[in-house]
Amino acid sequence: MIESQRHSYHLVDPSPWPISGSLGALATTVGGVMYMHSFQGGATLLSLGLIFLLYTMFVWWRDVLRESTLEGHHTKVVQLGLRYGFLLFIVSEVMFLFAFFRASSHSSLAPTVEIGGIWPPKGIGVLDPWEIPFLNTLIPPSSGAAVTWAHHAILAGKEKRAVYALVATVSLALVFTGFQGMEYYQAPFTISDSIYGSTFYLATGFHGFHVLIGTLFSIICGIRQYLGHLTKEHHVGFEAAAWYWHFVDVVRLFPFVSIYWWGGI
């Protein structure tokens, strides 16, 4: 850290990554719209935008890791700000997913005449909630327990045990994703099959997407733990991953109750 600095805050250096990330997001959005409407060059622009966006994410987070791990810019005050910021992000994610679960609950409790006044709508074959859906509801809390084990191992200074716990977390997440894909393959309805199909795939699909993000989060934390980046005094990145997993654990209960169980009784 710079010797002349008389405060605990991190004044970041000028960086090209915010503008490059914005350009990548713009290219991805425009390319995606062009591709969906069958415009020539849409797929190319979409691919370039995604590559540019992923590259920006990699180099930007690389700089953040260097600033925190090697340069020591992430003081206690900076870490507190990062924790607050991530908690606000999780609150926004709760609101986002709650909208889909609320739509499903509203349609099931007061089915309209357009879907026959019954729930599930007539002609929709539902999944048995006590088979794969119930199993996939038990797996996220198990991965949450594994990531809590990793957290306690980091606090106790047991590096290898923390890596093992993160491997268990990632393994359970991959099992969940595999079962989710199997469930989609076997589902007798599609996203276009009335409000039931649209809310089912949007709610479970976005939850599954969050599981994938949490899996990548845990893989990166496992690599950093193996390299010795995380200590019992400095592991904000891991704490964010652990909070994210607990958010995913709790959120899984909503689709099981509002879509699987309520739709299957």
3-state SS class at 3: coil
Please compute the mean of the pLDDT values over residues 14-32 and round it to a whole number. Answer: 93
pLDDT digits (tens, 9 = 90+) for 168-183: 999 999 999 999 999 8
In this structure, the number of other CB atoms found within 10 A of the CB of residue 58 comes to: 11
pLDDT digits (tens, 9 = 90+) for 227-246: 888 888 888 888 988 999 88
Could you tell me what percent of the chain has a pLDDT over 70?
A: 94
Which of 51-60, 127-136, 174-183 is predicted with the least confidence, judged by mean pLDDT? 127-136
CA-based Rg of the chain, rounded to a whole angstrom? 22
Tell me, what's the pLDDT at 28?
A: 94
pLDDT at 264 over 80: no
**pLDDT band per the 50, 70, 90 thresholds, residue 85:** very high
Tell me, what's the pLDDT at 108?
A: 80
Which residues make Cβ contacts (< 8 Å) with residue 1, sequence separation at least 6?
Answer: 71, 72, 73
In this structure, the number of other CB atoms found within 10 A of the CB of residue 252 comes to: 24
Tell me, what's the pLDDT at 33?
A: 94
pLDDT at 12 over 60: yes
- H or E segment to which residue 202 belongs: helix 194-226
Tell me, what's the pLDDT at 263?
A: 53
Please compute the mean of the pLDDT values over residues 124-145 and round it to a whole number. Answer: 84
- What global pTM score does this model have? 0.81
Higher pLDDT, 159 or 19: 19
For CA atoms 167, 169, 174, 179, the dihedral sign is: positive
Give me the residue spans of the domains in the chain.
1-72, 74-262
* 1-72 is a CATH 1.10.287.70 domain: yes
Could you tell me what percent of the chain has a pLDDT over 90?
A: 32
Please compute the mean of the pLDDT values over residues 148-170 and round it to a whole number. Answer: 91
* 74-262 is a CATH 1.20.120.80 domain: yes
Tell me, what's the pLDDT at 256?
A: 66
